[in-house]
């Protein structure tokens, strides 16, 4: 995963353009992708697909021709979606187009202007402070015209057509945690799920933030009805504790699964309420769709000083953090896939488990007593109304133990799905 982040890091991404395509080309080497191109001007819900932006070069040069700010050194140096400019102006005039972080004078901020035509540069405050008054050459070699919005999907077929959406945004330039770690975790999660045939069909969405999710929703109205659960991945590689943001519903099955897995795993974590601000969970959870989609990150958006700055670099993310995020996703989806409701086929009194060899099957297990209790709890709550997650929550037993008990009881003909 870290090697994938390293490969993606130099690319200049935005909500449209060749940087997104190059990113998807690389991800496509790891998992097959279906790439979609949606033309500029296409109406998508209340939005319109914007013009496509690409950039070749940009710089600010002093009177001696030295590039004091250079896009080639960092793609964060240009205000995202800057219109072309070629001019010479005094520093006093140029300042209105410069963006810095005075509180972190060595860092370069990440700024954009997607829907208002303007131009600008981002630079370290200490660089700006060192610039003498005088004339500066300003050049942004970019294009902004009719083109396409690009996004991609990868589907892991399941046993049923009901879907789980896993979404990550592909619109940020050289920011390792936001968004490259999320792309890497999503990619390797897709590969892990493909090693078996999951119960649900898993649809992975690699799309630019906001406009990408809106475009997907607009173009998939008939598929939305199949979406049972969803998870948005972002900020997945920093050293902070895991954070799960609940869906708008707050009690969706994905919310309950994530709470259960985080709590039983004893990982340091935080669970937060839904807010209509953040990543694309707010699009999937908008009231017209109201999908059960939560968001998983480590430190959430805007929650760490390095957020949207040049300090969100390759040193800020770690293989260990991404591996932990991936492991949690795999654990959560394992619960989601196995969570069923059952009916007790011998509901009058407690069935004789020993006669069916169920107690004997526990011999030698270090958790034999726990496994026995799990069988009794599953039998007690198998009324067609309670799921295995309900059993785990009510009994306080690990979900895996409850699911194993259900498998044994099902094999013995005592319960049916």
- Which ranges in the chain are annotated with CATH 3.40.630.10? 2-50+148-338
User: So what's the pLDDT on residue 360?
Assistant: 63
Inter-CA distances, 300 with 108, 205, 218, 274, Å? 20, 20, 27, 12
- The architecture (CATH level 2) of 341-416 comes to Orthogonal Bundle (1.10)
In the chain, which residues fall in CATH 3.50.30.90? 52-145
Q: Which fold has domain 52-145?
A: Glucose Oxidase; domain 1 (3.50.30)
Per CATH, the homologous superfamily of domain 2-50+148-338 is Zn peptidases (3.40.630.10)
Collect all residues with Cβ–Cβ distance below 8 Å to 252 and sequence separation of at least 6: 229, 246, 292, 293, 294
Average pLDDT of the segment spanning 10-27 = 98
Residue-wise pLDDT for 362-392, tens only, equals: 555 556 788 889 999 999 999 999 999 999 9
> What pLDDT was estimated at residue 362?
54
Average pLDDT over residues 109-115: 97
Can you give the pLDDT at residue 368? 75
The arithmetic mean of pLDDT across residues 39-44, rounded, is 98
pLDDT band at 354 (very low <50, low <70, confident <90, very high): confident
Q: Which helix (H) or strand (E) holds 36?
A: strand 34-39
Per DSSP, helices labelled H in 171-274 are 182-193, 211-219, 221-224, 253-265
- What confidence score (pLDDT) does residue 369 get? 84
**CA end-to-end distance (rounded Å), the chain:** 38
Average pLDDT over residues 331-354: 95
Q: Are 78 and 110 in contact (CB under 8 A)?
A: no
State the average pLDDT over residues 135-140.
98
Helices (H), strands (E): how many in the chain? Answer: 13, 19
Show the 3-state SS of 139-180. EEEEEEECCEEEEEEEEECCCCCCEEEEEEECCCCCCHHHHH
User: In this model, does residue 280 exceed pLDDT 60?
Assistant: yes
The pLDDT confidence band at residue 177, using thresholds 50, 70 and 90, is very high
- 189, 329 contact by CB (below 8 A): yes
pLDDT at residue 9 is higher than 60 = yes
- Average pLDDT score, the chain: 96
Question: What is residue 366's predicted lDDT score, i.e. its pLDDT?
Answer: 58
Share of the chain above pLDDT 90, in %: 94
- pLDDT tens across 231-265, in order? 999 999 999 999 999 999 999 999 999 999 999 99
Q: State the DSSP H helix or E strand holding residue 94, giving kind and residue range, or none if neither.
A: helix 91-94
Residues of the chain with CATH 1.10.10.10: 341-416
């Amino acid at each position: 995963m870290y090697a994938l982040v390293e490969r993606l890091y130099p690319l200049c991404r935005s909500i449209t353009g060749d940087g997104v395509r190059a990113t998807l080309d690389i991800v496509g080497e790891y998992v097959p992708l279906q790439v979609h191109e949606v033309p500029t001007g296409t109406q998508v819900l209340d939005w319109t697909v914007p013009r496509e932006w690409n950039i070749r070069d940009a710089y600010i040069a002093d009177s001696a021709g030295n590039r004091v700010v250079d896009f080639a050194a960092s793609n964060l140096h240009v205000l995202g979606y800057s219109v072309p400019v070629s001019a010479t102006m005094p520093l006093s005039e140029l300042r209105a187009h410069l963006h810095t972080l005075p509180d972190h004078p060595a860092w370069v901020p990440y700024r954009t202007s997607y829907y208002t035509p303007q131009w600008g540069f981002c630079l370290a405050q200490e660089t700006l402070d060192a610039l003498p008054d005088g004339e500066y050459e300003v050049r942004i070699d970019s294009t902004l015209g009719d083109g396409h919005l690009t996004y991609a999907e990868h589907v892991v077929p399941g046993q049923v057509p009901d879907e789980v959406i896993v979404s990550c945004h592909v619109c940020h330039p050289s920011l390792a945690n936001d968004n490259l770690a999320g792309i890497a975790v999503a990619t390797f999660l897709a590969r892990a799920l493909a090693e078996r045939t999951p119960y649900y069909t898993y649809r992975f969405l690699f799309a630019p933030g906001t406009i990408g999710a809106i475009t997907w929703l607009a173009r998939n109205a008939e598929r939305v009805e199949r979406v049972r659960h969803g998870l948005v991945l972002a900020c997945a590689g920093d050293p902070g504790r895991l954070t799960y943001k609940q869906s708008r519903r707050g009690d969706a099955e994905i919310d309950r699964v994530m709470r259960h897995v985080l709590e039983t795993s004893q990982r340091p974590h935080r669970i937060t309420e839904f807010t209509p601000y953040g990543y694309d969970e707010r699009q999937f959870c908008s009231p017209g769709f109201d999908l059960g989609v939560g968001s998983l990150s480590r430190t959430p958006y805007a929650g760490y000083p390095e957020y949207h700055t040049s300090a969100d670099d390759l040193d800020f993310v770690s293989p260990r953090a991404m591996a932990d995020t991936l492991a949690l996703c795999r654990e959560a989806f394992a619960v989601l896939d196995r969570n069923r409701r059952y009916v007790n086929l011998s509901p009058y009194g407690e069935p004789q488990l020993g006669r069916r060899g169920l107690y004997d099957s526990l011999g030698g297990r270090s958790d034999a007593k726990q496994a026995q209790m799990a069988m009794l709890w599953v039998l007690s709550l198998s009324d067609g109304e309670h799921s295995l997650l309900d059993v785990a929550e009510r009994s306080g037993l690990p979900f895996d133990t409850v699911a194993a008990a259900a498998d044994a009881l099902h094999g013995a003909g005592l319960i049916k799905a």
